[in-house]
Amino acid sequence: MRPRGPARSRFFYSKAKDCARCPLKGDCRSKARVNKAVVVGDHYPALLRARRRRERWSKQDRRLYERHRWRPEGFHGEAKTWHGLARALRPGLPNMKIKAYLTAAAINLKADGNWRTFT
């Protein structure tokens, strides 16, 4: 499911193949529906709990979060911009997994400074 919709609430849509192996599909989706739509509003209980928990963070928790939150975004941005992870050239999840592993290996080699050529 991917979130779509306005900022005040999030709409999640799934296709029938997404729900094919789910044991709850009979309870969740009627047989007449092809897809499932779920709306998570601003006042959703789990979302409210997460917001309240964040409000109770100490100064150290906030500092740690600010210090570390840029790291995943930086690595993902580099992978998409410099290593072609933004597009799948060959269809299929196995091919995309191979591409992701090779991209991660390239980024790790760059970070370690192991730029030796093997001849």
In a domain, 62, yes or no: no
Has this prediction a pTM greater than 0.75? no
In a domain, 61, yes or no: no
Residues 89 and 119 in one domain: yes
Instruction: Name the residue with tokens 């210090």.
Output: 67
The sign of the dihedral angle between the CA atoms of 94, 11, 44, 42 is positive
pLDDT tens sequence across 91-118:
888 888 998 898 888 888 887 665 555 4
Residues of the chain with pLDDT under 50: 1-2, 118-119
* 36-40 and 10-14 strand pairing: antiparallel
Choose one of 10, 25, 56: the last residue of a domain. 56
In a domain, 75, yes or no: yes
**CB of 88 closer than 8 Å to CB of 100:** no
Q: Would you state the pLDDT for residue 60?
A: 94
In a domain, 63, yes or no: no
